[in-house]
Copies of this chain bind each other. A is one copy, B any other.
Amino acid sequence: MKLTINREQLLKGLNVISKSINDKHPIPIMRNVKLELNHEGLGLIGTDNELTIKTVIPFMIGSTEVIRNYQPGATLVSFKILFEITRRLDGNEITLEVIDETIVEINDGRSNFRLNSIKPEEYPDIDLDPTGVTFNLAGKKLAEIVDQTAFAASQKEQRPILTAVNFSTEGNKLVVVATDSARLAHKEATIDDEVKFNANIPAKVISEISRLCLDEEKVTISISETKILFAFNGTVVNSRLIAGEYPSTKNIIPRSYNYFLEVNSEELLKAMDRVALLSSSDRENVVKLTMSETDGVQVSTKSAQNGSATEQLETFHFTGERLEISFNAAFVASAVRACKSQDVMLGFLGEMKPFSVRNDKDDSQIQIVTPVRTY
């Protein structure tokens, strides 16, 4: 294998696959990037067994030559070292050449690197062929869906299924749910085709993927029993799915409410942010919302160690009897941010019942938070 490649394009490609390679992977070969030059261009492949990314840098982009003076072949080199070298070189072009099976030479005229390399045959087999059902989604839409759900997935590995975001369909409606059992995010979107699937995608992985394809007009998604594939613009991303049945969340979403609070998102976020300063060292982030049609709305907290704090909200509309409800301020803050709206609507059933946070003008999503016991 030999080629002279535009440095910026190589760097861009290495950036695309960077999240699939862990430089501290216990199996040393997995710390490598596989370089594969064939008729398509230069393929860069990385995998950590959970997430696999392959991107192909073509010979030409428009009328600009990206790769020249090449001979096909493949090799493995340390991803980190190749990435850092590519980042730090000054020249426009880099020449890569497999000298023998153990050395790859990188040269830009001024700098000469001879990296130890490994025979490509020793790399695990990568299967990036689409299987199962297929549908398309715009990158921006996928990013929106993930942005409004993935944060609610569990960070803890005790129940692995809750570290996933659940994607399923009802006809041509895509239903996406994430929950860590203390809060829940539910999002719906319309897709062009009627396909049937139910897949648990690791939340961390789907977040990375949605960032990668944010600007793509068309992302083709293929889902089988065990894996999901995203294909866009020369890049294919493969994620394993988490096995098991996702818990049913339908009955968690309240059908009616006894109390409604409409507030300015920014004002609520700032008030919770300040008040939670006092709660953080005793009880993680717990704040209390006190609402009444006559006395207004207060956000408050009390801590034996630090003292107490109260904020008066100025812009609000409350309907219902007087209500006090305590919750994790960070959970409500994420829910409010997911609504991406100037005002949010909170719907309550009672002091200890899960409540909803919604954007009144967007019924494609609903955020649910479970209160905590008041102190």
Interface residues in chain A, defined as those with a beta carbon under 8 Å from any beta carbon in chain B = 78, 81, 84-85, 88-90, 103, 110-116, 270-271, 273-275, 277-278, 305-312, 314
**Are the C-beta atoms of A270 and B90 separated by less than 8 Å?**
yes
Question: Which of A115, A274, A305, A308 has the most chain B CB atoms inside 10 A of its CB?
Answer: A274
**Are the C-beta atoms of B116 and A307 separated by less than 8 Å?**
yes
Docked CA distance A299–B277 (Å): 52
Contact flag A114-B78 (CB < 8 Å), given A88-B277, A89-B274, A277-B85 = no
**Are the C-beta atoms of B112 and A310 separated by less than 8 Å?**
yes
Docked CA distance A115–B88 (Å): 51
**Are the C-beta atoms of A81 and B306 separated by less than 8 Å?**
yes
Which chain B residues border A110 with CB–CB below 8 Å?
311-312, 314
Which chain B residues border A103 with CB–CB below 8 Å?
307
Docked CA distance A305–B117 (Å): 10
**A contact patch SS:** mixed
**Are the C-beta atoms of A273 and B88 separated by less than 8 Å?**
yes
Which chain B residues border A270 with CB–CB below 8 Å?
88, 90
| A-B contact list, 25 entries, CB within 8 Å | A81-B277, A81-B278, A81-B306, A84-B277, A85-B274, A85-B277, A88-B270, A88-B274, A88-B277, A89-B274, A90-B270, A110-B312, A110-B314, A111-B274, A111-B309, A111-B310, A111-B311, A112-B310, A112-B311, A113-B278, A113-B307, A113-B308, A115-B278, A115-B307, A116-B305
**Are the C-beta atoms of B81 and A113 separated by less than 8 Å?**
no
**Are the C-beta atoms of B273 and A114 separated by less than 8 Å?**
no
Which chain B residues border A306 with CB–CB below 8 Å?
78, 81, 115-116
Q: Which residue of B lies closest to A107 (CB)?
A: B310
Q: Which residue of B lies closest to A303 (CB)?
A: B116
Docked CA distance A113–B111 (Å): 60
Which chain B residues border A78 with CB–CB below 8 Å?
306
Which chain B residues border A309 with CB–CB below 8 Å?
111-114
* Distance to closest chain B CB from A275 (angstroms): 8
